[in-house]
């Protein structure tokens, strides 16, 4: 039944190389993944600049009795070179006092919306994880003005000059990779066990970042909706026209031409989710979050799954039916859950994230 629904979406073929041949080995998958990343860079999110080689950090403040005495808190400032000089942004983090070489949950955060405040730091610490949080507007303001923030540091003239120049999602994702640059230099954190977590526009960001940056072990893509982990073809909620009208600055200008032309796009979102394989993905929906399109998020997970199977791994392990609310399908490397409720990341998702991390990387 669900495969039938998926067929009706008429998606572009994930495991077909640009030259039409079948992608059926791990070596070919590496090539196919590069093709997918190039396609989405050119047509959707824009190309990211070459990563800097000089990312550093310094501690701004520290408190060694945080979270009821279980954790040490740090505020650090990350700095790296750009064409217009050094760029810096701050990250906060909590690390358990008693765990060394600790796995980490990197949380891309909104600045002030109460909806996004479910963040169980105490549970995270008690379960043996460190957690970092970065406020996305500290990297790049969420508006159609490329002269500011990180984008401003790379802008040549007064505005974007090419239709493939990056948008804000690209900037936020690029900065998350700079956080990984410094995580790799911290010996008390295990950089091989880092999950990147984002909700909504930051779910889109976590997905784009992990697709490009193989250093992240798990991408948690919560309620990411259109141009996140939700299929554009047949989406029951937001369309490409809606999103490019309201948030043109999230994408490169090439993307605008797909408004009302979803079925002609040479891509759909299952391909960029699949670009994270063979690493872990966890896609989460809310059953009444119709704007994000929970059904299209589930079908997107289902459509991305064959890459794992082709690689001899378990992808999405699901019965042949749409999941009931409050279900988490976490047996494979591509996990999916749906909560009963709307557009938020809640305790249910955080608990699932910790379970997935523990099952895969701790036990």
Q: Does 201 bind ligand GTR (CB under 6 A)?
A: yes
- E runs forming strands in the chain: 56-66, 71-82, 85-96, 102-109, 130-135, 189-199, 218-222, 280-286, 327-329, 334-339
Q: Does 226 bind ligand GTR (CB under 6 A)?
A: yes
d(CA 48, CA 55): 16
Residue with smaller CB distance to ligand GTR, 191 or 222: 222
d(CA 251, CA 254): 8
Residue with smaller CB distance to ligand GTR, 9 or 201: 201
Q: How far is the CB of 330 from ligand GTR (least distance, A)?
A: 24
* The only residue of 55, 131, 191, 200 in contact with ligand GTR, by rule CB under 6 A: 200
d(CA 172, CA 204): 10
List 220's β-bridge partners, or say none: 197, 282
Q: How far is the CB of 154 from ligand GTR (least distance, A)?
A: 23
Q: Does 167 bind ligand GTR (CB under 6 A)?
A: no
Residue with smaller CB distance to ligand GTR, 13 or 245: 245
CB atoms within 10 A of CB 362: 12
Residue with smaller CB distance to ligand GTR, 127 or 226: 226
The b-or-e profile of 183-221 (16+ CB within 10 A means b, else e) is beebeebbbebbbbbbbbbbbbbbbbbbbbbebbbbbbb
Q: Does 127 bind ligand GTR (CB under 6 A)?
A: no
Q: Does 238 bind ligand GTR (CB under 6 A)?
A: yes
Q: Does 108 bind ligand GTR (CB under 6 A)?
A: no
Q: Does 243 bind ligand GTR (CB under 6 A)?
A: yes
SS3 content of the chain, % helix, strand, coil (to 5): 35, 25, 40
Q: How far is the CB of 246 from ligand GTR (least distance, A)?
A: 6
Residue keyed to tokens 């749409």: 322
Q: How far is the CB of 115 from ligand GTR (least distance, A)?
A: 8
Q: How far is the CB of 292 from ligand GTR (least distance, A)?
A: 7
Footprint on this chain of ligand GTR (rule: CB under 6 A): 200-201, 225-226, 238, 243, 246
């Amino acid at each position: 039944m669900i495969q039938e629904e998926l067929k009706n979406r008429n998606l572009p073929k994930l495991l077909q190389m640009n030259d039409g041949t079948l992608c059926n080995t791990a070596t070919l998958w590496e090539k196919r993944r590069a093709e997918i990343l190039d396609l989405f860079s050119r047509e959707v999110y824009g190309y990211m600049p070459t990563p800097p080689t000089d990312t550093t950090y310094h501690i701004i403040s520290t408190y060694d009795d945080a979270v009821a005495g279980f954790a040490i808190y740090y505020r650090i400032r990350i700095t790296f070179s750009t064409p217009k000089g050094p760029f810096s942004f701050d990250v906060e983090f909590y690390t358990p006092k008693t765990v060394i070489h600790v796995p980490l949950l990197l949380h891309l955060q909104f600045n002030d919306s109460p909806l996004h405040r479910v963040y169980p730091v105490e549970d995270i610490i008690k379960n043996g994880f460190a957690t970092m949080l970065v406020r996305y507007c500290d990297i790049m303001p969420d508006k159609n003005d490329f002269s500011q923030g990180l984008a401003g540091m790379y802008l040549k003239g007064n505005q974007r000059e090419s239709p493939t120049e990056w948008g804000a999602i690209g900037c936020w994702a690029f900065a998350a990779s700079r956080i990984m640059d410094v995580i790799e230099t911290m010996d008390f954190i295990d950089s091989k066990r880092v999950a990147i977590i984002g909700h909504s526009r930051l779910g889109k960001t976590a997905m784009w970042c992990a697709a490009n940056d193989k250093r992240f072990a798990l991408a948690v893509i919560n309620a990411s909706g259109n141009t996140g982990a939700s299929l554009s073809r047949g989406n029951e909620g937001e369309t490409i026209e809606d999103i490019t009208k309201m948030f043109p600055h999230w994408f490169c200008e090439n993307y605008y031409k797909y408004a009302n032309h979803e079925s002609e796009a040479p891509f759909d979102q299952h391909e960029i989710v699949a670009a994270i394989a063979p690493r872990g993905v966890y896609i989460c929906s809310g059953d009444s979050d119709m704007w994000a399109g929970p059904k299209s998020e589930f079908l997107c997970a289902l459509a991305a799954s064959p890459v794992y199977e082709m690689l001899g791994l378990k992808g999405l392990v699901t019965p042949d039916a749409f999941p009931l609310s409050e279900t988490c399908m976490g047996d494979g490397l591509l996990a999916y859950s749906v909560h009963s409720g709307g557009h938020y990341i809640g305790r249910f998702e955080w608990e699932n994230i910790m379970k997935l991390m523990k099952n895969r990387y701790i036990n």
